[in-house]
Amino acid sequence: MELAIVIVKNSRNWFFVHKRSPDKKRFPNLYGIGAGGKIKIGESPEFAAKRELKEELGLQTPIKFLFVWKYKNDLISVFFATSDKIIKPCKKEFSWSGWLSTEETDNLMVKKKMCPDTEMFYKKYRIEFEGACFE
């Protein structure tokens, strides 16, 4: 499966984080970052990322391509956006959403509360783009 994900941060440098609904087939009740989903046939990863950002968070903002990450059989194109606009999360997708500090977001990863694919690309993002060091 091909996925497009957008990591979203605000001017306070906090991450937009969500808890997936309990009725989701993939990773129910685990935490994800930003917005994302499947790339539809005929879509570019960038188009899919912008579509998911609009559908899931109600945001239309510039995005920047970061990297492609492989998780099991999934190919994940990871993008980045910053926004201080009011986010209107899709209620059927998430049971909770909000802004968390880097420390709080890292804590979700350490405690294994993140979706496994999110944990992998989040860790790569933190190390490569923010100079984090994890043991």
pLDDT tens across the length of the chain (135 residues): 999 999 999 999 999 999 999 998 889 999 999 999 999 999 999 999 999 999 999 999 999 999 999 999 999 999 999 999 999 998 888 999 999 999 999 999 999 999 999 999 999 999 999 998 876
Q: Per the structure block, which two tokens stand in for 16?
A: 């937009």
Q: Is the separation of the CB atoms in 34 and 108 below 8 Å?
A: no
Q: Note the CATH number of domain 2-130.
A: 3.90.79.10
pLDDT of residue 135: 64
CB 45 within 8 A of CB 4: yes
Q: Dihedral sign for Cα 85, 40, 109, 31, please.
A: positive
Domain spans of the chain? 2-130
Report the distance separating Cα 38 and Cα 24, nearest Å. Answer: 14
Among positive and negative, which fits the CA dihedral 83, 58, 115, 77?
negative
Return the pLDDT at 57.
96
Distance CA 85, CA 101 (A): 17
